[in-house]
Amino acid sequence: MDRERADGQLAQIAETVGLARRLGARVWLRGGWAMDFFLGARTRDHEDIDWFAPAADAAALAAGLAALGYAPLEGAPPEQQLDFVKDGLESSFALVDLAPDGRVLAAGGPWAGTAWPAGLLDGPPGRLDGLVCPVVAAEAQIEIKRMMPVWDPRRPRRAKDAEDIARLRAALAGA
């Protein structure tokens, strides 16, 4: 594991959580770092830091991140996802709408209005290396990793996703 990269990513996770708290905004880790926070252990290298954030908080988060030295990246439609880089480390914020009935919906792009898995944002916070961070619920993480190649055929199955699913299922079975 690239310890220096992981330490830098953890510092940016802490920075982002602190920023969100100061702004009164909400963020939830998703992807590999969410799994590590759920498990309470570093399991593998991570290419980037993936988040969910309410679309209603996007402008404030973007301005706050810019003030902290994060530079925006071109990529997905901005109503769907915001991408940033700082110190060579990327962070992506998939934007969601929070429906009055509790469903979490894709905020924009080709899947606007599509519901994410039930309970997505209902899990307990994760903990890792003394940091506490809101994370996607483990059951929803499994569903997303299992279904992403079906929902978006351009995204092939990856060995790391199968390994992550096995780790999460084992942790849930032992809980």
Q: What is the pTM of this model?
A: 0.92
List CB contacts of 16: < 8 A, sequence separation 6 or more.
27, 49, 51, 65, 91
Cα dihedral 39→102→104→111 (10° resolution): 150
175 residues of the chain, pLDDT tens digit each: 899 999 999 999 999 999 999 999 999 999 999 999 999 999 999 999 999 999 999 999 999 999 999 999 998 889 999 999 999 999 999 999 999 999 999 999 888 999 999 999 999 999 999 999 999 999 999 998 888 777 777 878 888 888 998 999 999 998 6
CB 30 within 8 A of CB 136: yes
